[in-house]
Copies of this chain bind each other. A is one copy, B any other.
Amino acid sequence: MSKIITVAREFGSGGRQFARKLAEELGYEYYDKEVLTEIANNTDYSVEYIKSVVDRKPHSLFPISVGHSFSSGMDYQLQQMQSIFTAQYEAIHNLAGKSDCVFVGRCADFILREENPIRIFVYADMVRKVERCLEFRKEGEPDNPVEMEKLIKKLDKARAKYYNDYTGQLWGDKQYFDFCINTSKFDEKQLAVDLAKMLK
């Protein structure tokens, strides 16, 4: 059976960089956006469309009150979403079965819970997250701390909502993880190098 590590993370915590380095150090496959490509290979949807769906709240199109009727257009959209979530579930299981690997995000800790993965959550203080996001700022992102903090909160709120709805668990609750790592005081890549030594 392959060894599986899942990394969930707060936006700006350096969790993705940590995960990539961890995979590199251990010689494991690294799966992040690759999951979307795998879904696209197994369905008729484009990577862009899949991304637009899996970045949404999974149940946002369900009616709030029972008895509320869907329009037929809404029905179709819901069916598409459900088929993409099913495809995501299968893609993650397929990839996990191939070789030792590290997954970033995508509820992989939950989806693969029966496979006994090592589940890591990476987080940091807001001050440090803002600093890191400004340092590695992408085009179109805010250039000042106040607006960057707002963006981080907004993105993490969406992540939490997505995870909570999809899994029925509370996003970031330490009981669902083996290691929760705060990157505020440490370099995330060095942490990955050190943790890789522990897990070898």
Binds B, one of A22-30, A86-94, A178-186: A178-186
Known: A194-B197, A194-B198, A198-B198. A178 touches B174 (CB 8 A): no
Residue picked from A116, A172, A174, A177, most chain B C-beta under 10 Å: A174
Copies per complex? 2
Name the interface size band of chain A.
20 to 34
Contact assessment for A182 and B182 in the assembled complex, using a CB-CB cutoff below 8 Å: no
Residues of B close to A174: CB separation below 8 A: 121, 123, 172, 174, 180, 182
Output the nearest chain B residue to A124 by Cβ-Cβ distance: B175
Say which residue of B172, B179, B198 sits within 8 Å of A182 (CB atoms): B179
A171 to chain B, nearest CB (A): 12
A141 at the interface (CB under 8 A from B): no
Q: Does A75 contact B (CB under 8 A)?
A: no
At the interface, yes or no: A125 with Cβ under 8 Å from chain B?
Answer: yes
Q: Hey, which chain B residues are within 8 Å of A191, CB to CB?
A: 198
Whole-angstrom CA separation of A177 from B184 in the bound complex: 10
Closest partner residue, chain B, to A200 (CB atom): B194
CB neighbours (8 Å) of A180 from chain B are 174, 177, 179-180
A179 near B178 (CB under 8 angstroms)?
A: no
Give the chain B neighbours of A175 by CB distance below 8 A: 123, 125, 182
Q: Which residues of A contact B (CB under 8 A)?
A: 116, 118, 121, 123, 125, 172, 174-175, 177-182, 184-186, 191, 194-195, 197-198
